[in-house]
Structure 1
Amino acid sequence: MTTSVQIDRHSVLVDGQRLQLVSGAVHYFRIPRDEWESRLDDCWQAGLNTIETIVPWNVHEYHEGKYCFSGNRDLAAFIDLCHSRGFFVIVRPSPYICGEWDNGGLPFWLTQKSDIAYRRANPVFMKYISRWHEVLLPLIVSRQVSSGGPILMVQIENEYGYFGDADEIEYMTFLRDELLHHGVTVPLITCDLPGNGWLVDGATKCANFGSNFREGLRVLADEQPDAFRFVSELWLAWFDHWGGEHHTRSGRNVGNALKEVLAAGGHYNFYMWSGGTNFGYYGGRTTDDEFGAFITASYDYDAPLGETGVITEKFHECRLVNWLAQSYQDLFVDSDETPVTWRVPETDVLLTERLSPSGRTIFVRNDTPNTVTLRLANHDDSVRAKAGTLLAGETRIFLSDVALSPTVKLRLATADAFLNLGKEHLFYGEPGDTYEFHLTVDGTVTVLSGTVPNGQEPARHAVGDVTLYVFAREVARSVRVPKEHASFTVQMDWNQYDQQEALPALSFEQAEVLSALDTRTSDWKSSHPLPLEDFGAYQGYGWYHTSFVSDGTPTRLVLESVHDRATVFLNGRRQGVVGAFAPFALCDIEPTPGVNCLSVLLDNLGRYCFTARLGERKGLLGNAYLGGHELALPTWTPSELDDGALNLRIPWEHGEGILLRVFGLDTTPIEFYLHGHLIYKHRSYNDDDRFFEVNVTKWLRPGDNILEVRPAKSLEHAPSIKAVRYALDQQLTEPWTMAAGVVGESGDVEISTHPFAAMSYGPVPVPAENRVAPRFFRSHFKLAPAGPTVRRHPVKLKLTGLGKGSVWLNGHHLGRYWSAGPQTALYIPDSYLSETGNELYIFDEEGRSPDQVHLLYEAHFS
């Protein structure tokens, strides 16, 4: 029998039965496969009924035409596991996913295709999408609800309307038609901000945002009066990037946000519900400031289920609302806002009521800065009730006119409901608060009242054939629900672990990287400088090597275009860093008389993932010159046209090259011109690229040149600018040799064996003897996996004292680290440990001492 799925203005309907979507994002590829089952079990206990996931194309087709759907990449197995655990699934397939994932999920080899344009109705791009869909979509189609599987909805693309130049509806209809052609029959959705983005014929628009849900969902409903209101990404916090702060958002704040979604008649998907890890080099690059925001290895996202699977305070707060929405779904899923029938005496306390065939829900929001003691009364004063306290900014939900059984009707409850188990109904409140239940039992009016208990035992009220329980809020957060929905148990500490063994101390031996490179240069590609992708380094590191003759005079090296970070070595000694988090374009070097060997370690920190600038190439993208200088420029001056434009004078002479970095931009549409040539157009609509770099040499003329800024409206602040000048006749012209990887091994981070295992290792010098040079550190230690019957605290590797680099354990790439923070430790999944002993490799770009590096157990919430 085929199962049908439809969408109307209230909800999704599965075979005519309405479903309140309580969904959470769980990215299978960010979680070790051995942890999928336990994560999903915790998702069920959290009150979710749906799992959402994105599909990164570049994970499954890392190399063109070679597909991988095994291990952590087994999409079909993950969907099937969700099904076996009782979840519906929402799939957000490629081509573009954002997800703070390298290149927004697009394969890296696409950058080498000529005439390609990303996220456009571009023949080259569409050809490769169609080829990929031939592989991907059968896995999805065979698992739709309409085919007996769990997939409830499928998304078309991702956040296409976020950027002002994403204006090709032909591209979105092409993707829609691809899905339909391959047999997708469940509802199609898109996601954008409320009020912007395309309405695609045949798809329902949903919205991604993190606050102001009532207004946002009202706008969404105005756009689509006949479609349900779905927050497809309800942002629980935010991602972390190197050099930034760790982002958090309190669980109570999120819980109030969920109630606001319900007050607007909405459904929600948590982003993220379960955090994960950007194993390897998969962290992307969003845009935030002059350098861009490069995403950390941890994608914890301050999620209810953290990166290691730890259950957090936010988990407990959110599940109070999740179980309310799911177990009392008939009150929400077919409801409409109605004129209020209840009132409170306090001003600035907002009441909203929703009425469904199954009863009424009353949403009370405190917009005052103070705690309010609530009293509710209906219009004829036949019911007057005390309702405890309402904190500043808090929303509470009260149930009214609800049939709890054929003989018991709830006229009003002033404790907060959170779980309906049929004949048992669970409520909670703040200890010491007064609550009341106004009921009719076999037609007789009954009023029960009490005080929320302060201990673990709930207040219990037997009424007719039902039982009402009132818990202290902290205890309610810890109620466990059995799979059969029979009764409940209380478990105050959900992160219960067995007694922990002592973790082993780590001792290291070291190998120098530069000397190891000398043995591999015969394998290097010889050419002028090429992008990393052109010699197989799709991710991570690559080396560039050349030589030049000098009289020994100190000078400045100019690297025309570095993406993203270049560490410069001359004759085996580190000279400095150019690029991200480092001086722009210039590096002071000290050559010796005669021939000098120049080696440059290029680090691809992650490609853009949330911007119109996809398909970014990495590496040395220009030439190298000696004799560079900073160029002092005057300040911006108003244009003579008095139209808000600004001018900047740039002096130039023949034989010079000039690089510019313009930053401090805002979202005002703005264009930059030199002698009538448009050199840059700021993508302004919700695109926070705040800087650009450009070599302006080809547009310059001898004498003064005017760089003209033409904003759409007057700028609050003029952009800032840096400039570098260099002599064109000092270009380094000797052939360059290049190799992918840290020691020229391979650009493929999927491999599990590495040639650095064969390097020559010896004792680690004491810190005082360290010279700054890239090193590998190796350690062997004993720590067996805990196994399925032991609950052990998650283990992390604390990288105290190191600079910047990468870590491998038993062939698994655990991710990057960087002393810039905020991340200071890498997660070691239990399944990555070995019974027979563990081999740990650390590559540190600066060769800092590992004497403080150690294993530790992650602290847990209780």
Structure 2
Amino acid sequence: MPELQTAADGFLLDGEPFRILSGALHYFRVHPDHWQDRLRKARGMGLNTVDTYIPWNLHEPVRGSLRMAGGIDLPRFLDLAAAEGLHVLLRPGPYICGEWEGGGLPSWLLAEPGVRLRSTDPRYLDAVDDYFGRLLPLLDPYLSTRGGPVIAVQVENEYGAYGDDRDYLEHLAGLLRRHGVDVPLFTCDQPGDLARGGLPGVLATVNFGSGADGNLALLRAHQPQGPLMVTEFWNGWFDRWGGIHTTRPAADAAAQLDTVLAAGASVSFYMFHGGTNFGFTNGANDKHTYRATVTSYDYDAPLTEAGDPTPKYAAFREVIARHAPVPDMPLPAPSKKLNVLDVRLPQSAPLLAAAGLLGPGVSAERPRTMEELGQDFGFVLYSAALPAAGPVTLEVDGVADRAQVFVEGQPAGVLERESHHRALAFTSPAPGARLDLLVENQGRVNYGQGIHDRKGILGDVRVNGRRLQEWTSRPLDLADLAPLAFGRTDAPPVGPAFHRGVLALEEAADTYLDLTGWTKGNAWINGFHLGRYWSRGPQSRLYVPGPVLRAGDNEIVVLELHATTRMSVDLRDTPDLGPTEE
């Protein structure tokens, strides 16, 4: 593959002028059987490059154990990009933001009290050095200087919005170089953060969605020579639970794109194809109030969550064609979708009763955080005995992020971080009554100082003003639901429960799991964790990639945390991401 160089006024590829026309496509947000399709559609829109983050928390969920298989087989993704004739911009972080759980930083970093993330704290840098020491040698063959598709590598990510520790950035750039990364390095920042996030000798690039003329001028003022590059051209946006579905008119985004290209700048769309926050991988924001990101990462991008072209696909291709050659390829057709109504889920397994099957409990004087328990995502069940009968005021120092409270298995209320809840009143039926708090990690904060986001019960729990001691903290392992013992039921059980059913299909295709009538929880099909649902919206259907399904029997499992009005679900042939702002 040809090599990229920077010149005074642009990029050169093997000595010839070159404009990067890229789009963000996160392999870890797309089913691996769809990678080739999405890459081909990127080329069809006129792109010559794709960019992707690398999520540290998926590749090293346990320190010292690097994973590269299945949905996170990055070498395979890079091979497929090269086969499609696409270059790659690699963005390894270690912090990636991306509305991704914890900004991609693994939760085990937070098991260290007082650790300072994204800094020169030796505890953090030692972990980064170890991780890059395992990751980068695997990627060495994919650098363009070795004949691979990777033409440039990013240093950190929007660091100027977080800090100004030049030594930290120098350390990361040096680490990349020491491990043989000899392609151009670049940083990316929002316009006002260019000075804080830049690094001498490293190409600075800018991120924005509008105000192209002014923002490119700010980049040129900061960096008088070198290519103009918009690493994140924000053509859409993400959604949060309790909000609306955010959209942006195609004509508006296309006009800004035209301005960028007319200025001679290179560009990368954020996003070209958003994909999905499968499982527990969504992030969150906390600007004085905690807000979790939804499961869908559709992003109102040129391709929908299911990979179908939106009006932006055609609009952007038309703009690109004014400035660069575009392949003579027809617009992609939407994929086939399934529509199957009233799929019964007649079996159930109450969660509280099954908790012992999902993980061992840890006994201690106080509740243990998720990080202390060695758990990354999901739920912890905390249990203790109430000291006496009668009225109880329960106070919790910190809940991260949502605690359902039960007394003798009966619901007593909910404490939500988002609503700043810390206290609850109820009645204890007897001395020694069992108190359970089912705490959900709804997504670690991915932006700002809030990334130091420990989960579970934080601090002490008090009953009528006295600290409650002798707790069992039980991390629930939902990666494998095989231990659950399901029984047939005629009516939904009270409280959190898993619900199971089997659907026979003649063929597999993309579809959307409609959970109308359900309240809040998670869903799996054939063991594949689709993600979270919540009746508060905006999203009300979960995308199901066709490769998850199969001809024959398909197992559907739903974990409902509260209650459902129906013991069935629907598979729909259209998405429902919620209402938009008029």
**Into which bin does the TM-score normalised by the smaller protein fall?**
over 0.9
Name the SS of the counterpart of 1:755 in structure 2.
Answer: coil
Tell me the amino acid that sits aligned with residue 176 of structure 2.
L
Q: 1:567 to 1:269 in 2, by over 3 A?
A: same
Q: Distance in 1 between matches of 2:462 and 2:158?
A: 41
Q: Distance in 2 between matches of 1:543 and 1:294?
A: 21
Residue in structure 2 matching 1:539, options 363, 377, 391:
377
Q: Distance in 1 between matches of 2:373 and 2:208?
A: 40
1:673-822 equivalences in 2 (<5 Å): 727=465, 730-733=466-469, 735-741=470-476, 746=477, 751-756=479-484, 759-765=485-491, 771=494, 773-786=495-508, 794-822=510-538
Q: Deviations over 1:82-133 (max 9, x none)?
A: 1110111100003100011111111111112355321111211111111111
1:212-611 equivalences in 2 (<5 Å): 212-288=211-287, 290-327=288-325, 481-482=328-329, 494-495=332-333, 503=340, 505-514=342-351, 516-517=353-354, 520=357, 523-527=360-364, 528-552=366-390, 554-582=391-419, 584-611=421-448
Q: Distance in 1 between matches of 2:51 and 2:351?
A: 45
Q: 1:518 to 1:3 in 2, by over 3 A?
A: closer
- Measured after TM superposition, the shift of residue 753 of structure 1 is 4.6
2:175 is aligned with 1:178: yes
4+ runs of 1 displaced by more than 6 Å? none
Q: 1:308 to 1:514 in 2, by over 3 A?
A: closer
- Measured after TM superposition, the shift of residue 563 of structure 1 is 0.8
State whether residues 347 and 501 of structure 2, in contact with CA within 8 Å, keep that contact through their aligned partners in structure 1. Answer: no
- Measured after TM superposition, the shift of residue 529 of structure 1 is 0.7
- Measured after TM superposition, the shift of residue 519 of structure 1 is 5.3
TM-score (normalised: structure 2): 0.94
Name the SS of the counterpart of 1:577 in structure 2.
Answer: strand
Q: 1:33 to 1:519 in 2, by over 3 A?
A: closer
State whether residues 108 and 615 of structure 1, in contact with CA within 8 Å, keep that contact through their aligned partners in structure 2. Answer: no
- Measured after TM superposition, the shift of residue 44 of structure 1 is 1.1
Q: Deviations over 1:131-175 (max 9, x none)?
A: 111121123322111211111110000000013xx1210000000
Q: Distance in 2 between matches of 1:250 and 1:795?
A: 25
For 1:832, the equivalent position in structure 2 comes to 548
Name the SS of the counterpart of 1:560 in structure 2.
Answer: strand
Q: Distance in 2 between matches of 1:578 and 1:818?
A: 16
Name the SS of the counterpart of 2:344 in structure 1.
Answer: coil
The number of aligned residues is 573
2:200 is aligned with 1:189: no
For 1:125, the equivalent position in structure 2 comes to 124
Q: Deviations over 1:293-316 (max 9, x none)?
A: 211111111111111111111111
State whether residues 503 and 783 of structure 1, in contact with CA within 8 Å, keep that contact through their aligned partners in structure 2. Answer: no
Q: Percent identity?
A: 35
Q: Distance in 2 between matches of 1:785 and 1:104?
A: 37
Q: Distance in 2 between matches of 1:544 and 1:776?
A: 19
- Measured after TM superposition, the shift of residue 732 of structure 1 is 1.6
Tell me the amino acid that sits aligned with residue 508 of structure 1.
L
Name the SS of the counterpart of 1:276 in structure 2.
Answer: coil
Q: Distance in 1 between matches of 2:170 and 2:551?
A: 52
Q: Distance in 2 between matches of 1:53 and 1:805?
A: 29
- Measured after TM superposition, the shift of residue 263 of structure 1 is 3.0
- Measured after TM superposition, the shift of residue 811 of structure 1 is 1.1
- Measured after TM superposition, the shift of residue 249 of structure 1 is 0.5
For 1:354, the equivalent position in structure 2 comes to none
State whether residues 32 and 72 of structure 1, in contact with CA within 8 Å, keep that contact through their aligned partners in structure 2. Answer: yes
State whether residues 395 and 461 of structure 2, in contact with CA within 8 Å, keep that contact through their aligned partners in structure 1. Answer: yes
Name the SS of the counterpart of 1:535 in structure 2.
Answer: coil
Name the SS of the counterpart of 1:837 in structure 2.
Answer: strand
- Measured after TM superposition, the shift of residue 214 of structure 1 is 0.6
- Measured after TM superposition, the shift of residue 520 of structure 1 is 5.0
2:15 is aligned with 1:6: no
2:570 is aligned with 1:858: no
Q: Distance in 1 between matches of 2:115 and 2:431?
A: 45
Name the SS of the counterpart of 2:207 in structure 1.
Answer: strand
Name the SS of the counterpart of 1:279 in structure 2.
Answer: coil
Name the SS of the counterpart of 1:141 in structure 2.
Answer: helix
- Measured after TM superposition, the shift of residue 518 of structure 1 is 6.9
For 2:580, the equivalent position in structure 1 comes to none
Bigger shift: residues 298-307 or 111-120:
111-120
State whether residues 551 and 593 of structure 1, in contact with CA within 8 Å, keep that contact through their aligned partners in structure 2. Answer: yes
State whether residues 776 and 847 of structure 1, in contact with CA within 8 Å, keep that contact through their aligned partners in structure 2. Answer: no
Q: Distance in 2 between matches of 1:626 and 1:238?
A: 43
Q: Which runs of 5 or more residues in structure 2 are unaligned?
A: 577-582
State whether residues 345 and 568 of structure 2, in contact with CA within 8 Å, keep that contact through their aligned partners in structure 1. Answer: no
Q: Distance in 2 between matches of 1:824 and 1:50?
A: 33
Q: Distance in 1 between matches of 2:399 and 2:160?
A: 30
Tell me the amino acid that sits aligned with residue 166 of structure 2.
I
- Measured after TM superposition, the shift of residue 497 of structure 1 is 5.5
For 1:613, the equivalent position in structure 2 comes to 450
- Measured after TM superposition, the shift of residue 514 of structure 1 is 4.8
Tell me the amino acid that sits aligned with residue 312 of structure 2.
K
Residue in structure 2 matching 1:624, options 458, 461, 464:
461
The structure with more radius of gyration: 1
Q: 1:582 to 1:851 in 2, by over 3 A?
A: farther
TM-score (normalised: structure 1): 0.64
For 1:692, the equivalent position in structure 2 comes to none
Q: 1:14 to 1:248 in 2, by over 3 A?
A: same
Structure with higher RCO (Cα < 8 A, 6+ apart):
2
Name the SS of the counterpart of 1:277 in structure 2.
Answer: coil
Which structure has more strand as a fraction of its residues? Answer: 1
Q: Distance in 1 between matches of 2:557 and 2:160?
A: 43
Name the SS of the counterpart of 2:552 in structure 1.
Answer: coil
For 1:89, the equivalent position in structure 2 comes to 88
Tell me the amino acid that sits aligned with residue 291 of structure 1.
T
For 1:24, the equivalent position in structure 2 comes to 23
Q: 1:139 to 1:12 in 2, by over 3 A?
A: farther
Q: Distance in 1 between matches of 2:318 and 2:161?
A: 32
Tell me the amino acid that sits aligned with residue 398 of structure 2.
S
For 1:401, the equivalent position in structure 2 comes to none
Tell me the amino acid that sits aligned with residue 139 of structure 2.
I
Which structure has more helix as a fraction of its residues? Answer: 2
Tell me the amino acid that sits aligned with residue 765 of structure 1.
A
Residue in structure 2 matching 1:847, options 533, 550, 563:
563
Q: Distance in 2 between matches of 1:287 and 1:551?
A: 38
Name the SS of the counterpart of 2:501 in structure 1.
Answer: strand
- Measured after TM superposition, the shift of residue 808 of structure 1 is 1.2
Name the SS of the counterpart of 1:624 in structure 2.
Answer: strand
State whether residues 341 and 569 of structure 2, in contact with CA within 8 Å, keep that contact through their aligned partners in structure 1. Answer: no
For 1:687, the equivalent position in structure 2 comes to none
Name the SS of the counterpart of 1:506 in structure 2.
Answer: strand
Q: Distance in 2 between matches of 1:38 and 1:522?
A: 39
State whether residues 103 and 614 of structure 1, in contact with CA within 8 Å, keep that contact through their aligned partners in structure 2. Answer: yes
Q: 1:740 to 1:779 in 2, by over 3 A?
A: same
For 1:198, the equivalent position in structure 2 comes to 197
Q: Deviations over 1:773-824 (max 9, x none)?
A: 11111010012554xxxxx5x3010010111111111111110111111111
Q: Distance in 2 between matches of 1:501 and 1:233?
A: 34
Q: Distance in 1 between matches of 2:424 and 2:347?
A: 28
- Measured after TM superposition, the shift of residue 242 of structure 1 is 0.8
Name the SS of the counterpart of 2:425 in structure 1.
Answer: strand
Q: 1:260 to 1:505 in 2, by over 3 A?
A: same
Q: CA RMSD in A?
A: 2.1
- Measured after TM superposition, the shift of residue 194 of structure 1 is 2.0
- Measured after TM superposition, the shift of residue 511 of structure 1 is 2.7
Q: Distance in 1 between matches of 2:355 and 2:83?
A: 54
Name the SS of the counterpart of 2:375 in structure 1.
Answer: coil
- Measured after TM superposition, the shift of residue 829 of structure 1 is 0.8
